[in-house]
Amino acid sequence: MTSDRAHRTYGIDLLRGVACAAVLLFHYLSRGPRAGWMPGVLDSRIEPVARYGYLGVHLFFMVSGYVIFMSAEGRSAREFVASRVARLYPALWVACTLTMLLVVFSGDQRFLVSWSDYAWNLTLVPQYVGARFVDGAYWSLAVELQFYLMVWLVLRTSSMARVELLLWAWLCIAMADALRPMYPAERWLIANWAPLFSLGAVTYLASSRGWTRQRAALAATAGALALWHSVKEAAHLAHEWNGDGPNPVVVALLLCVAAASFMLFGLGTLRVGRTAWATVPGKLTYPVYLVHQVAGYLAYGWLVSETHAPRTTVGIVIMLSVAVGWVIHRGIEQRFAPRLRRAIIGVGERKSA
Let me know if 60 is exposed, middle or buried by CB neighbors in 10 A (0-12, 13-18, 19+).
Answer: buried
Query: Rounded to an integer, what distance in angstroms lies between the CA atom of residue 309 and that of residue 313?
Result: 6
Q: What is the pTM of this model?
A: 0.95
Burial class (CB in 10 A: 0-12, 13-18, 19+), 71: middle
- Write out the chain's pLDDT in tens, 353 residues: 445 666 678 999 999 999 999 999 999 999 999 999 999 999 999 999 999 999 999 999 999 999 999 999 999 999 999 999 999 999 999 999 999 999 999 999 999 999 999 999 999 999 999 999 999 999 999 999 999 999 999 999 999 999 999 999 999 999 999 999 999 999 999 999 999 999 999 999 999 999 999 999 999 999 999 999 999 999 999 888 888 899 999 999 999 999 999 999 999 999 888 887 788 998 999 999 999 999 999 999 999 999 999 999 999 999 999 999 999 999 999 999 999 999 999 865 545 44
Residue type, 296: G
